[in-house]
Amino acid sequence: MAFKKILCPIDFSEASQFAMQQAAQLAVDSGAELVLVHAWESPFHPEYSEGILHNELLAPILKEQEKDLEAAKLEAASLGPERVTAKLLYGVAWNAIVRETHRDPTYDLVVIGTHGRSGIKHILLGSVAERVARHASCPVLLVRPNQTRPP
């Protein structure tokens, strides 16, 4: 299947790093644009993250997020895709990512890393990847970092 535009959410974890590598390879193979997104959540009121952007106390944190996203964009571009863009989203991560897929109907695929949590950790922490997979407007590919599998 040929893709034209691939969305890859990143949170700078090992799982999202691996997902970015996979998304970059898919973009190379299909000549697709790769769009990296990072969802920034306000520590005060996540649902109002975009509305409180101009808070002076949060400016250094936001600058750091933008710097990290730009570094990820350069790294993804070094993997070979012709077009790589990056976008900072605001709000609760899964919701911001899903909103982005609905806002831009040209996304063909979301490639998102998963930590593979189960049991109580999954119940307490939830799964951004799972919620994105359930609500995104396009297909979602969940990827986990390579791990040694038990026999």
Retrieve residue 107's tokens: 């996304």
Give the mean model confidence (pLDDT) for residues 86-93.
92
pLDDT band at 60 (very low <50, low <70, confident <90, very high): confident
pLDDT score of 50: 54
Domain ranges of the chain: 5-120+128-143
User: What pLDDT digit, counting tens, does each position of 132-141 carry?
Assistant: 999 999 999 9
User: What pLDDT digit, counting tens, does each position of 76-85 carry?
Assistant: 999 999 999 9
Helix 93-103 vs helix 128-135: angle between axes, to the nearest 10 degrees? Answer: 30
Reference 9, options 117, 124, 99, 126; nearest CA is 99
Beta-bridged to residue 8, according to DSSP, are: 36
Q: Cα 27 from chain centroid?
A: 15
Q: If you classify domain 5-120+128-143 with CATH, what class do you get? A: alpha beta
Block residue for tokens 């769009």:
35
E strands, the chain, are: 5-9, 33-40, 83-90, 109-113, 140-143
Give the mean model confidence (pLDDT) for residues 34-50.
75
Between CA 67 and CA 69 the distance in angstroms is 5
Rg, C-alpha atoms of the chain: 15
Give the mean model confidence (pLDDT) for residues 71-96.
95
pLDDT score of 136: 96
Between CA 23 and CA 21 the distance in angstroms is 5
pLDDT score of 117: 57
